[in-house]
Amino acid sequence: MIKSLNDMNPEESGRVCEIKGGQGLINRLNSLGIRTGKKITKVSSMLLHGPVTIQIDRTKVAIGFGMAGKIFVEVDKQP
């Protein structure tokens, strides 16, 4: 099932399948290791449209709500 990072539940994981944004956004996300094909696990999201924290390889990255909504993940593992 494909979900945006915002719609994923904590501890769900999957592979990034699409980043819906301009080159600028893709560049920035890529530089932090977030790119299509990467396996990620959602750690948490803050209340009131707060940032989403994900685990990617051995790093954690926090992504603002708006940006997180543009990242789509093919979820393959429910907690």
Q: How far is the CB of 72 from other proteins (least distance, A)?
A: 17
- Dihedral through CA 64, CA 66, CA 19, CA 28, nearest 10? -40
Nearer Cβ to other proteins (53/75)? 53
Q: How far is the CB of 68 from other proteins (least distance, A)?
A: 9
Tell me the DSSP string of 7-76. Answer: TSPTT-EEEEEEE-S-HHHHHHHHHTT--TT-EEEEEEE-TTT--EEEEETTEEEEE-HHHHTTEEEEEE
Q: How far is the CB of 42 from other proteins (least distance, A)?
A: 11
| Footprint of other proteins (CB under 8 A) | 10, 27-33, 35, 43-51, 53, 57-67
Nearer Cβ to other proteins (1/72)? 72
Nearer Cβ to other proteins (22/48)? 48
